[in-house]
Chains A and B, each alone.
Chain A
Amino acid sequence: MSPVVAVEPQLMSEDLSADLASTALVLARRYQAGATLWVLSPEWEPHAHHVAVEFVHPVIMGKRALPAFALTGADAVGEARLASRPGDVILVIAAAGDPRAREVVRRAPAWGADTIWIGFGERPRPGSADHVLWVDSDDPMVPATGRFVLLYHLLWELTHVCFEHPGLLVPPAADCTDEVCITCSDEGRLGEVVLAPEEPFAPAIVRTATGEEEVDVTVIGDVSPGDLVLVHAGAALVRLEEDGR
């Protein structure tokens, strides 16, 4: 018989606690601005439902009910694309290698949604998601040991603490606010093709963080719905290949 497996005395490293704190503040700010939280857990669906009920029907009386939905259909990417609106937050609970999770966090910037990724094992590459809350263990049973439950319980608890600090719920002023910002004009914005051009040299309809817009795609040639492109000054300059590789 195996010995009683000792609970790791340190369920929460300094780094993880700091990640939780900053994630909670961002989530509270997004909620304050009207966000909905979308939750996906392709391999362990009950976690997605647990997060949703946590936010919608708090266990502590008097806490605000907040909009949160579990997305549990077979097509995780399609569901998240359809559900999310600019300003929303998508929480993914999955191992780093989960192809659906990778695809959702890769595309979310084009939908204007922030992403939070709770998982275990090898960490996702830096920049994959906006916020990463990670259990540094490669035990495949981690999702059923309560470690994820602890993380999203704490995310809920800390988010509600943030609501007690209204002065901090307004995000800091953005670095740029208008179209002539030099910083932004040098960058491409991520876009997802919604409709291909109807005829040669006509624009495609592309979804970006600010909504749908007409984009010139003559530089990159044929595009199909779902293609990810970098948009700069009304034109698509680069097509991103599968999974950014």
Chain B
Amino acid sequence: MTDFLYPFIEAQEDDPEALLADLAASARAKAAESAALQESSLRELESTIQACATAMAGRFARGGRLYTFGNGGSSTDAATLASLFAHPAAGRPLPAWSLTADQAVVTALGNDVGFELIFSRQVIAHSKPVDMVAAMSASGSSDDLVTALAEARRRDLLTIGFAGYDGGRMGELAAAGELDYCFTIGSQSIHRIQESQARVAHRLWQLTQEQLSTQRRTSPVTTPGGAR
């Protein structure tokens, strides 16, 4: 009789319908939460995104390159950001690379000089002052990212950070005027932070493309691939 009153206890559970309904409801609730966070993040950050896009368009027009990086899932989101700039389905391809793409370089640096230097050493090797770096992190505090942002800043690159929670160390750098642009997604969930970061990154790409179209009328673009 107790099975009738409590049909879903532990291993006796054998009808998946209730679980499937719960899962679907959970998916909708989390998607709604993600949508709301994306919307509020875009509204809150719009003027910063616009300013950052203007600065990036200027550097791309002068031959600048974009380097992106992150750890774990954020490294893949950073790679997607680089891919968005370099291989857009529509718009002008712009030179952008992910610094996690070459496992020979990443493992050589990690093994020889330490994991916290895997990106900063690449910044030293690759970059010129006209270039840009974008670091993506949910915490905003990863050592390897913060170290690379500081190195890039010393070399006059444009520095961009994507963070979550309260901004972490990237937020502190931005407050101290040592990070050019910081996009902090105010959430405690790594998944929801990453989803909103992707949306902000897409907006940044979109506005950079628009800025370049505007600039094209006033000055020729010298970017490789810019002729398309």
Binding site for B on A (CB under 8 A): 1-2, 4-12, 14, 16-18, 20-22, 24-25, 44-47, 49-50, 53-54, 57, 59, 140-141, 143-146, 149-150, 153-154, 157-158, 161-162, 165-168
Contact = CB atoms under 8 A, between A and B. Distances in A.
Given A25-B16, A59-B191, A146-B195, A46 B76 contact: yes
Given A17-B28, A150-B31, A25 B23 contact: yes
A25 B196 CA distance: 27
Contact of B30 (A1, A53, A154, A165): A154
Given A45-B79, A59-B190, A7 B35 contact: yes
Nearest to A1: B210
B29 to A, nearest CB: 9
Given A21-B24, A57-B72, A153 B195 contact: yes
Given A140-B90, A168-B14, A54 B73 contact: yes
- The secondary structure that dominates the B interface is helix
Given A7-B39, A162-B19, A12 B31 contact: yes
B207 interface: yes
B194 A153 contact: yes
Interface string B1-37: 0000000101111101001111111111011101100
Interface in B177-195: 190-191, 194-195
Given A12-B27, A158-B27, A165-B13, A144 B84 contact: yes
B194 to A, nearest CB: 6
A4 B206 CA distance: 10
Interface class of chain A by DSSP: helix
A12 B202 contact: no
Contact of B27 (A21, A50, A54): A21
B39 A6 contact: yes
Contact of A21 (B20, B30, B90, B195): B20
Contact of A18 (B20, B190, B206): B20
Contacts of B83: 44, 46, 144
B38 A7 contact: yes
A79 to B, nearest CB: 17
B73 A158 contact: no
12 contacts: A4-B43, A7-B39, A16-B27, A44-B83, A54-B73, A141-B89, A161-B19, A161-B22, A161-B23, A161-B26, A165-B8, A165-B13
Given A21-B20, A144-B205, A153-B191, A47 B76 contact: yes
Contacts of B13: 165-168
A12 B195 contact: no
A17 B10 contact: no
A4 to B, nearest CB: 5
Nearest to B30: A154
Contacts of B73: 50, 53-54, 59
A179 B79 CA distance: 50
B188 to A, nearest CB: 12
Nearest to B79: A46
Nearest to B34: A150
Interface string B86-105: 00111000000010000000
Contacts of A166: 10-11, 13
